[in-house]
Amino acid sequence: MITLGSLFDGIGGFPLAAVNNGIIPIWASEIEAFPIEVTKIRFPDMIHVGDITKLKGEGLPPVDIITGGSPCQDLVRP
């Protein structure tokens, strides 16, 4: 069994690709409410671990693969 953790998860694009290839998504890090609700419907067994800036690696369930999509908002503040 190959497992996946997803950072900056959005609506679960990496977990969706994973399941289509026999990989089991275990946890996801996302802070936006709507995308989290989408992934809760798509992947009811996936753990939502919240804000990446508050994560402690030793507290996460171990996975074989960690994916990450760059945040999709502008990172530069005026």
pLDDT tens for each residue of 7-45: 999 999 999 999 999 999 999 999 999 999 999 999 999
Q: Please, are residues 39 and 12 in contact by the beta-carbon 8 Å criterion?
A: yes
* Pairwise CA distance, residues 21 & 72, whole Å: 25
Evaluate whether 28 touches 9 at the Cβ level (below 8 Å). yes
Whole-angstrom distance, CA of residue 58 vs CA of residue 8: 19
Residue indicated by tokens 């609700």: 37
Rounded to 5 degrees, what are φ and ψ at 47? -85, 135
CATH number for 2-68: choose from 3.30.230.70, 3.90.1150.10, 3.40.50.150, 1.10.274.10: 3.40.50.150
Q: What pLDDT is recorded for position 76?
A: 63
Average pLDDT, the chain: 92
What pLDDT was estimated at residue 41? 96
The percent of the chain in helix, strand and coil, each rounded to the nearest 5, is 30, 25, 45
